Amino acid sequence: MPESAKIDRIIKAVRRDFQAPVNRTIDRLLHPHFKQYPFLILVDGLIHGLNEMDPVKSIQRFLRYDGPKLIEELQRELERGA
């Protein structure tokens, strides 16, 4: 295995080790407030994206996990206002 591939693998492992606790902190701070402040779902996705530094993966994760939450909360808001 080339030396550069080994270094890339080490860097990815270290980044992953540091990203996980930050992601958990983001989740703990924002997720409890999603129902009251649905815009925080967008903020959550943006902050996770900045932490993960992988735009494509972050967008995919947002659409998969946070997209449905956002739609649900927006529908709830529309029903309350109607």
- Host domain of residue 70: 3-81
How large is the average pLDDT for residues 3-28?
88
> Whole-prediction pTM value?
0.77
Q: How many domains does the chain have?
A: 1
How large is the average pLDDT for residues 32-56?
92
* Mean per-residue pLDDT over the chain, rounded: 90
For the cut 70, the answer to whether the pLDDT of residue 26 exceeds it is yes
Task: Please return the burial class of 44, using the count of CB atoms within 10 Å of its CB with bins 0-12, 13-18 and 19+.
Answer: buried
Decide: 40 and 66 in contact? Cβ < 8 Å: no
